[in-house]
Chain A
Amino acid sequence: MGGALGAPRGGDGGVAMLILGIETATDQVGVALSAGGAVVASFEVARGRRHAETLAPAIEFVCRQAEVRLDELAVVAVDVGPGLFTGMRVGLATATSLAQALRIPMIGRSSLDLLAFPCRHADRVVVPVIDARKGEVFWAMYRQVPGGVQRVVEPTVGSVDDLVADLLARSEEVLLVGDGADRYLEEIQQGYRCESIDGARPSAVPLVQLAHAQALREDWVNPREIEPIYLRPPDAQISWVTRRERP
């Protein structure tokens, strides 16, 4: 455990490289498996039981259905946020522990990347917007480039007004996507004329697609180097009530 990472299994010729992707940054839980860049299995559920109850059984199910043993994996990819902290950490703790135990490298991608990538054929700037609760949103901006998208505005957190101000300042034609866009669309459109794609969530499928391209360049990290993107300092409320409930 620890120590130097070996080259991932299936990295060169012969066997197709297997990548497991884990995504839990919003209220959705997603797991996808790719072999040689092709998505061979995926599981996604957007309601019902919470992340921690669903994720491990989903990984087991996806791998069993695709007839893949976990020890055959080459890389574990994970959504590193921004998103809902508790859910994000379920995915991150699962992914880093899997990679550590299997001694394989990891690839972390932002939830905003996962929203933008499926819009790579759109004809305008893509603005993924994720609901950060407490009246705020996370966003970034992406421009189309051959084969994908490129981030032009780094992930940010702020009020809906802050987002509108950012859009006004750049004054480009934009396409909004994500649960934050769904929730605050009317408010955003009152301040800035734009269109949106309804109902999109960060998904494990674009995660393994992006991770495959990155893995081909051996652009991966040790599990300990995976950093969550919180964008917000911890809420320092202590309550004697929560404290009382613990031993």
Chain B
Amino acid sequence: MRELTVGPDTVVLGIETSCDETAAAIVMGGTDIVSSVVSSQIDLHAEFGGVVPEIASRAHLEMLNPVVARAIVEAGVDESRIDAIACTIGPGLIGALLVGVSGAKAYSLAWDVPFVGVNHLEAHLYSALLEDPSLELPLVVLLVSGGHTMLVEMRDHGAYRLLGQTIDDAAGEAFDKVARFLGLGYPGGPAIDAVALHGDPEAIRFPRAVPEGLDFSFSGLKTAVVNYVRAHPDVSSADVAASFQAAVVDVLVTKARRAAREIGATGIALGGGVAANSLLREELLGACAEDGIRGFLPSRAMCTDNAAMIASCGWYRLRSDGATPLDVGALPNLRLPLLAS
């Protein structure tokens, strides 16, 4: 394999297949997104109200090569300009991850360029930096998605501390379950976001569960919604959705700003699918302005799963740790690498 000095001209092809998006992107120098292609499988899973692993894996296999081809065409670069292949190795659905990892290794072999395995959670942290490289560390990243709800202190590249996380359901999971209960469809996040626009967020005062420290809990809230609707069958779904969303956002923003105060962060960045929620974006910006710190909202495309964040994170990992051996497998339960303290 040819020697690679990682620098501002280094072109990384990123590949992401950990859940229900097949994505490929070309990123130069770690932050310059040259192309980013995402093929979503939402329609395939909608009738099941959640991601079906085998359906996801089949669709990834079908879409992987076309999506990579399109990312290269849209980038307008010759594939000989690609210096490295970065790919999500975990966490995620094992069968889905394996499609991307296998393809990525094959591209690495065929083009004789390094392969670098990327932690999907770490890549979400980079999605904030990708669109605003002027952000200064330390930063609090509120990572909220269908599988995760975490507050992470990003001290430096590769140096993270977990400040708090959910002790039961992830925020996105609560959105999906409540949306399903209200018959609003799948995925729950956008469905509730849309319906809530027509409802009164103060119509119902749902409980704000506040476990110790900076942790979260959403299962009680979900139960409260179910109990309330059963007791008040004529309640407007829009009011329930708006009041539920207000409760989730309230808890997320309160804890995020407390976290920022505790570590003296320069700002708070959002990441993960739930970061596309309109109310969360609005409230977080307001809170940051009040506290005199920066609030950073990546574009919705960068919040949800994409390969630009994988390529970006891959560039940093390659620069600090070098290539990943080709005998690495997919790691469905991979965790965020954390500092000891």
Contact = CB atoms under 8 A, between A and B. Distances in A.
Given A60-B326, A90-B98, A96-B65, A243 B51 contact: yes
A93 B61 contact: yes
Interface in B96-112: 98-112
Interface in A172-205: none
B106 A101 contact: yes
A2 B146 contact: no
A63 to B, nearest CB: 9
A70 interface: yes
A242 B61 CA distance: 20
Majority DSSP secondary structure for residues of A touching B: helix
Interface in B270-299: 272
Given A1-B72, A237-B52, A89 B95 contact: yes
Contact of B19 (A97, A101, A223, A246): A246
Given A234-B54, A238-B50, A247 B145 contact: yes
Interface string A213-244: 00000000001100010100011111010111
A95 to B, nearest CB: 7
Nearest to A96: B65
Interface stretch (A10-18, A47-55, A116-124, A130-138): A47-55
B92 A85 contact: no
B18 interface: yes
B135 interface: no
A154 interface: no
Contacts of B143: 247
A245 interface: yes
Contacts of A49: 327, 329
Contacts of B79: 1, 101
Interface of A: 1-2, 49-57, 59-60, 70-71, 85-86, 89-98, 100-102, 223-224, 228, 230, 234-238, 240, 242-247
Interface of B: 18-19, 45, 48-55, 57-58, 61, 64-66, 68-69, 72-73, 79, 91-95, 98-112, 120-121, 124, 143, 145-148, 169-170, 173, 272, 305, 326-330, 332-333
23 contacts: A52-B98, A53-B327, A56-B105, A56-B106, A89-B57, A89-B102, A93-B106, A98-B106, A101-B79, A234-B58, A236-B48, A236-B54, A238-B50, A244-B169, A244-B170, A245-B91, A245-B332, A245-B333, A246-B51, A246-B92, A247-B18, A247-B92, A247-B146
